């Protein structure tokens, strides 16, 4: 194994519309799983949005509050998806069909397009086809998103532990 292969990190980008609710929550959950497993040296986790409206802002205060109650700190600052993300990340994970479709359209190559996945592809407990946007909903919407993302991130982390970098 070459030195380059030995030190290659699996890089994951979580994406939602504005990068203030779902994707920073997924980033925090995944980072906590990675940290708890002592795998920080093997992963690079980030999040981004498909619009730049919230660029430079922190996570939605309601999501921060719900996250805190579940033991997560959301410190991410919103940023839009960049063309370079398709080169820099191994997996680019959209929260819903709209995110997934737009990411595939933005992908500059077929290889880059193959990196795009649905968040709920990794759920093991929930039978659901998207992570709903809680922005215009009430408190239960934020709780529901956290529950779905905990399931999906655990499934993603477990699948990567079983077959790192072979099949996303």
Residues designated as active site: 16, 22, 133
CB atoms within 10 A of CB 51: 14
Beta strands in the chain (DSSP E): 10-16, 43-49, 91-94, 116-118
Q: Which two tokens stand for residue 20?
A: 């203030």
User: Packing angle between helix 61-69 and helix 139-162, nearest 10 degrees?
Assistant: 60
């Amino acid at each position: 194994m070459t030195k380059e292969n030995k030190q290659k990190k699996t890089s994951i980008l979580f994406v939602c519309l504005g990068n203030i609710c779902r994707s920073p929550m997924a980033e925090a959950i995944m980072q906590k799983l990675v940290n708890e497993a002592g795998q920080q040296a093997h992963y690079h986790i980030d999040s981004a949005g498909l619009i730049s409206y919230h660029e430079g802002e922190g996570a939605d205060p309601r999501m921060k509050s719900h996250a805190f109650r579940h033991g997560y700190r959301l410190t991410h600052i919103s940023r839009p998806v960049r063309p370079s993300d398709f080169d820099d990340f191994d997996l680019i994970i959209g929260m819903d069909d709209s995110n997934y479709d737009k990411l595939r359209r933005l992908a500059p190559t077929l290889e880059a397009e193959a990196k795009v996945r649905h968040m709920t592809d990794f759920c093991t407990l929930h039978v659901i086809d998207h992570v709903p946007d809680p922005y215009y909903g009430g408190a239960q919407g934020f709780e529901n998103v956290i529950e779905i993302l905990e399931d999906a991130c655990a499934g993603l982390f477990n699948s990567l532990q079983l077959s790192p970098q072979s099949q996303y």
